[in-house]
Amino acid sequence: MTDTFKTLLVEQVDKKTFTRKLTTRRLDDLPAGDVVIEVAYSSLNYKDALSATGNPGVSRNFPHTPGIDAAGTVVSSDSADFSAGDQVLVTGFDLGMNTPGGFGGKIRVPAEWVVPLPQGLSTRDAMVIGTAGFTAALSVQGLINAGVKKEDGEVLVTGATGGVGSVAVALLHHIGYQVVAVTGKADKHDFLKSLGASDVISREELLTNHERPMLKERWAGCIDCVGGDYLAAAIKSTRYGGAVTCCGLTASPELPINVFPFILRGVSLLGIDSVQCPMPPRQALWNKLASEWKLDGLEALTEEITLEQVDSYIDNILAGKIAGRVVVKLS
């Protein structure tokens, strides 16, 4: 086995300038850890673009290889839980933040971060889902746990053409919910309908009269990926006893709202975190995504790129130009 591998390296030039290049690194360049994995596929997430552009809330140690997702084959393991040849996946924890991530041919991580690849998924399938799809699944599970049932009515998804949003639309449709998608991309309505949205509305439509303390009740539940006024409008228009999940901030990290929807309509706001999600529910959800929640149609929303193409796709995701999921083929 060769101990060199290709990697995307982000280097810091000065306080605000970061450059990206493809280079070769050695196993010795990786931090200590229990399990060395040869990465077959990674995926592109919004957070990878933040890391690759030096966002200090995501990555502080440079030079650095981003990539919060990786799936591949164990090369060596100091943990009794894994052996060479096992197929595995890693998402979240510190991978791709300050630990070299999936945009390199090999990673070395603590065994506690590693999920055995569930039966029914290939390494590529797992990365089509990736952190974005796993977060969508956590959000859907959150609504179900909060008592939102498919017969209760429409479920809203914001940021619907994004990684989390597009898988959320497809998953909700797959398990029988009626989905309304919100998008800023006027040319992507047919795409969202092909994923299973029964209706698609513009961002402006969601924000109609959004400055009012409460809005007309419409949604049984909402999956919000964008934050800000959109999350506030979603909460204000959720029906009595409904629930809203919050996972992202592509519009804003602020939440401009008062308490009325919570104390007059009993609406619940559910925080979603995929990064530190403990291993038992993490494995259970991955197993669900490989069985009853397996989405056969995900290929329609997936684009496959090479490590060489990641650089330009980082700019595209920051500009909000990507629809669906992007998998990165490493080997």
| 139 is a contact residue toward ligand NDP (CB under 6 A) | no
93-132 burial code (b ≥16 CB/10 A, e <16): bbbbbebbbbbbbbbbbbbebbbebbeebebbbbbbbbbb
| 249 is a contact residue toward ligand NDP (CB under 6 A) | yes
**Residues 299-328, interacting with ligand NDP (CB under 6 A):** 317, 320, 322
| 63 is a contact residue toward ligand NDP (CB under 6 A) | no
Q: Of 128, 251, 267, 327, which one interacts with ligand NDP (CB under 6 A)? A: 251
Half-sphere exposure for 167 (CA within 13 Å, toward CB): 29
| 157 is a contact residue toward ligand NDP (CB under 6 A) | no
DSSP-derived letter for residue 164 is: H
Closer by beta carbon to ligand NDP, 126 or else 317? 317
* Burial environment of residue 264 by CB neighbours within 10 A (0 to 12, 13 to 18, 19 or more): exposed
Smallest separation, CB 56 to ligand NDP (Å):
15
| 127 is a contact residue toward ligand NDP (CB under 6 A) | no
Smallest separation, CB 276 to ligand NDP (Å):
9
Closer by beta carbon to ligand NDP, 29 or else 69? 69
Residue 225 CA to residue 252 CA, distance in Å, equals 10
DSSP labels for 53-76?
TT-TTT--SSSB---SEEEEEEEE
Q: Is the peptide bond before 63 cis (omega within 30 degrees of 0)?
A: yes
* Listed ranges 213-221, 222-230, 255-263, 285-293: which one lies at the site for ligand NDP (CB under 6 A): 222-230
Q: Do the beta carbons of residue 4 and residue 30 sit within 8 Å? A: no
Q: Of 51, 245, 250, 268, which one interacts with ligand NDP (CB under 6 A)? A: 250
Closer by beta carbon to ligand NDP, 8 or else 30? 8
Residue 193 CA to residue 290 CA, distance in Å, equals 24
Q: Do the beta carbons of residue 322 and residue 49 sit within 8 Å? A: no
* Listed ranges 3-11, 69-77, 141-149, 245-253: which one lies at the site for ligand NDP (CB under 6 A): 245-253
* Listed ranges 25-33, 145-153, 249-257, 282-290: which one lies at the site for ligand NDP (CB under 6 A): 249-257
| 45 is a contact residue toward ligand NDP (CB under 6 A) | yes
